Homo-oligomer: A and B are copies of this chain.
Amino acid sequence: MGSISPQLAELDASNFKVTRTTNFRDVPLPGSPEELSHSHCTDHMVTVRWTDVNGWETPEIKPYQNLSIAPTASCLHYATQCFEGMKVYRGYDGKLRLFRPDCNGERLSNSSQRSSMPGFKPDELKKLVGKLLQIDGPRWLPKNRPGSFLYIRPSIIGSGPHLGVQVPKEATLFIIAVPWPDFTNTTKEGETTPSKGLKLFASTPDTIRAWPGGFGYAKLGANYGPSLQAHGKAKAQGFDQILWLFGEDRQVTEAGASNFFIVWKNAQTGKLELVTAPLGNQLILPGVTRRSVLELVSSRLSKPVGSLEPVEVVERTFTIDEVEAASKEGRIVESFVSGTAYFITPVAMIRENDTDISTLGPDGEPAGYAALIKSWLGQIMYGKEAHEWGYVIEDEEN
């Protein structure tokens, strides 16, 4: 239950069944309503069933289609569900790449077990995503469009017809791929110039995203649905995301669909720090992009880069009061969020109670750290820099 049992078949991407579509779907244009729907998927999908009798069955690649789900399935009642967000990138060398897919495989296996569903060997996920993209990549990310990407959504759901509250006896892993708008273009509907960054709305004490001993660290559906009410209210007031605070001291945790970073001058030492919430208390999602930001900054920004001063990476609990004080004292240099959907996007301000906290630099602009980190990551994702984080999907053999 929830772990890899030796008696049950393991997830194995080497043996799979393919049914190709004969009815190809329209590929939406960038910026089209179809793309903005976040739901116009590619021609095929992957499904793999698991049962507590047999383990993981043979993966199938088949035409994209609705799932037929029993009204008694536990994924519809008990939120037995978890997912990953990944992207596949069409490189400037013509190759398709995933970014650190082993990290997604490991996290999905962990999330699945946290929601009492089966784990698997993390490597198999990237292989399955690779198979899907070998088939759909040429049409949906053509070689003549380097610099484009698709969003990949692997999900595991409790799919068996068992209405009793119990550990699922059946689960289904499915993987879909979908054209996705580029959120790093911060020009919003009705605006003619790009905004300087996202506007975040700090959560109020009556709504808390996660708690120690809970599941904020796992990518479970259960972290999202209950947060949408607050998210919807913030959106209606013109904000982009909730910044989730925790505890009586109002610790800054994460922004729901992304991790939050701030670059500020330490009040004591005067040195620049890149600060983000720690993973130890299990409140925040251990983002793959978050981890990559921390690793890149540690290794590449210990010395000046161009006009940018070195920064020290600091993972620690910090509070919204500290952010407000730093803003008032002109110590904030920049802030940004990171995530697969939001990539690296500057944050312009935080509304906290009735106070608007500017989180740009003293001159009202981001200093450029986010842009630099984004460009470093982009070079790896799109194959301009050879790097172990880029996983190349080989062209299909035929």
Chain A residues within CB distance 8 Å of chain B: 1-2, 37-39, 41, 45, 64, 66-72, 74-81, 83, 113-116, 151, 153, 155, 157-158, 161-168, 174, 176, 178, 205-208, 211-215, 218, 220-226, 228-229, 231-233, 235-236, 256-257, 341
Could you tell me if B228 and A116 are in contact, using CB atoms closer than 8 angstroms? yes
Could you tell me if A68 and B68 are in contact, using CB atoms closer than 8 angstroms? yes
> A67 contacts which chain B residues (CB < 8 A)?
68-71, 76
Distance in angstroms from A244 CB to nearest chain B CB is 10
Complex CA gap A200/B73 in Å reads: 26
> A41 contacts which chain B residues (CB < 8 A)?
71-72
Complex CA gap A41/B222 in Å reads: 26
Could you tell me if B78 and A225 are in contact, using CB atoms closer than 8 angstroms? yes
Known: A2-B232, A165-B224. 16 other contacts (CB 8 A): A1-B229, A39-B163, A66-B70, A67-B68, A67-B69, A68-B68, A71-B155, A75-B75, A75-B76, A76-B221, A77-B155, A79-B81, A79-B223, A81-B225, A205-B213, A222-B223
> A165 contacts which chain B residues (CB < 8 A)?
224, 228, 231, 256-257, 341
Q: A78-B221, A208-B212, A213-B208 are known contacts. Are A232 and B167 too (CB-CB below 8 A)?
A: yes
Could you tell me if B116 and A78 are in contact, using CB atoms closer than 8 angstroms? no
Could you tell me if A162 and B39 are in contact, using CB atoms closer than 8 angstroms? yes
